[in-house]
Amino acid sequence: MPETHFSCMWIEQSDAGDVSRIIHQIMPAQLPDGEVLVRVDYSSLNYKDALAASGHPGVVQAFPHVPGIDAAGEVVASDSVRFSPGQAVFLTGYELGAQRWGGWSRYVRVPADWLLPLPQELTLQEAMIYGTAGLTAALSVDALRRQEIVPSAGEVLVTGATGGVGSLAVLLLAGLGYQVVASTGKPAMHDVLRSWGASQVVPREELAGPQKRPLLGERWAGVIDTVGGATLGSVLKATRRNGCVAACGLVGGVNWEASVYPFILRGITLAGIDSAWCPTARRQQMWSQLAQEWRPALLAEVARLTTLDALPGQIDQMLAGQLTGRWVVALADPAEST
Ligand SMILES: NC(=O)c1ccc[n+]([C@@H]2O[C@H](COP(=O)([O-])OP(=O)(O)OC[C@H]3O[C@@H](n4cnc5c(N)ncnc54)[C@H](OP(=O)(O)O)[C@@H]3O)[C@@H](O)[C@H]2O)c1
């Protein structure tokens, strides 16, 4: 049990409503209740974290708040027989970094049910390269496979392809042999997307079809949509008969104009993806796939390391849609003696 203060990213709101992000020192006694205390070596930056770090009321319910929906590290103290001090563990989602203080902190205290032992094939850092984004990408790929969208079915579209979920979805699909079409708003990233395994790259604006038409020409066997809003409405209209669209994101909006035609004339499935409350058995199955059969050779290529000090700049870039790939947050203080 740490006897001294440790660092975390602290989100405060002033009486005037201004939100500030500071590196703050807190004591273990200030952490929320829970069965397992974990010393966090790595967390990551997800879109939901960027919202939390901006005090978004859809994520943050009380101030001060500590963001970080992912965490990986070592058990320090445990009231659960399932976890012992020294064990390498990780967790993504549930209430972490939302209703409960999260992983942008050297320590977290959490319910044992939220933790998973680190698979032996992964390092703590690799678990956080995947993080929530990896679980979401895996659940989305799995949703397509459950609808029998196999690699020979045709082109599979990934929207927001340079983002965290998008980049991992491209890697996973390409590794499984799918013909991946990546949609991006970043012209400078076309070659990089091809190097990650996309067979074709389409500019974001090309996806917006004529808004009035209930159906567009059939193109996509499957879609992993991290954008939502009008993009989701548009890709549903262009999905082939018996295709599947896995909807997991909202960076482009939450509402779209819908009709029943893609569903009743083309038998399309709209699969909703929720990684935060993914049941344990499915979560374990997905992590086993990510650690073994589905593990992309280029996993490290999409990731970069950052620190609490540098994060505010990256948060602003992410909210502006400018960040690419996965950002892993290193929590260990170089000055620590332990
Ligand atoms: N359902 C779940 O369980 C779950 C889990 C994780 C994340 N998510 C959601 O998935 C989305 C992506 O999360 P992330 O962590 O991967 O975020 P991210 O790294 O910021 O990626 C988002 C990407 O979307 C594209 N984009 C940004 N702004 C856009 C806009 N206005 N219109 C269209 N495209 C835009 C950009 O890619 P390009 O420039 O390449 O187009 C951007 O890199 C978020 O909405 C997040 O909340 C959901």
CB of 246 within 6 A of ligand 1: the answer is no
Residue with the two structure tokens 């069965």: 35
- Choosing from 43, 44, 45, 47 the residue with most ligand 1 atoms within 8 A of its CB, the one to mutate for a pocket test is 47
Q: How far is CA 21 from CA 10, 35, 79, in A?
A: 6, 28, 32
Class of domain 6-118+308-330: alpha beta
Residue-level pLDDT at 336: 65
Residue-level pLDDT at 333: 72
Distance from Cα 225 to the centre of ligand 1, integer Å: 9
Higher pLDDT, 87 or 338: 87
Of 27, 21, 26, the residue nearest 9 (C-alpha):
21
Residue-level pLDDT at 208: 74
Q: Which two tokens stand for residue 105?
A: 């902190």
Segments making up each domain of the chain, as ranges? 6-118+308-330, 132-272
Distance from Cα 165 to the centre of ligand 1, integer Å: 7
| pLDDT band per the 50, 70, 90 thresholds, residue 2 | low
Residue nearest to atom 44 of ligand 1 (CA): 249
| Whether the predicted model's global pTM rises above the 0.75 cut | yes
In contact, 261 and 236? CB cutoff 8 Å: no
Q: Which CATH superfamily is domain 132-272 in?
A: NAD(P)-binding Rossmann-like Domain (3.40.50.720)
| Closest-lying ligand 1 atom to the alpha carbon of residue 251 | 45
| pLDDT band per the 50, 70, 90 thresholds, residue 209 | low
CB of 156 within 6 A of ligand 1: the answer is no
Residue nearest to atom 6 of ligand 1 (CA): 133
Rounded CA-CA distance 130/330 in Å is: 14
- Choosing from 194, 227, 235 the residue with most ligand 1 atoms within 8 A of its CB, the one to mutate for a pocket test is 227
CB of 184 within 6 A of ligand 1: the answer is yes
HSE toward the beta carbon, residue 88, CA cutoff 13 A:
13
| pLDDT band per the 50, 70, 90 thresholds, residue 211 | confident
Query: Is the bond preceding 64 in cis, omega lying within 30 degrees of 0?
Result: yes
Distance from Cα 163 to the centre of ligand 1, integer Å: 6
Residue-level pLDDT at 338: 42
Of 134, 111, 122, 114, the residue nearest 88 (C-alpha):
122
Average pLDDT of span 143-161: 98
Residue nearest to atom 4 of ligand 1 (CA): 248
Residue nearest to atom 9 of ligand 1 (CA): 249
Residue nearest to atom 13 of ligand 1 (CA): 47
For residue 95, pLDDT over 90 is answered with yes
Average model confidence (pLDDT) for the chain? Answer: 95
163-184: per-residue pLDDT in tens?
A: 999 999 999 999 999 999 999 9
Rounded CA-CA distance 199/177 in Å is: 11
Distance from Cα 119 to the centre of ligand 1, integer Å: 27
CB of 248 within 6 A of ligand 1: the answer is yes
Residue-level pLDDT at 337: 43
Q: How far is CA 71 from CA 94, 115, 159, 212, in A?
A: 12, 10, 26, 44
Residue with the two structure tokens 């076309």: 190
Residue-level pLDDT at 39: 97
Residue nearest to atom 37 of ligand 1 (CA): 160
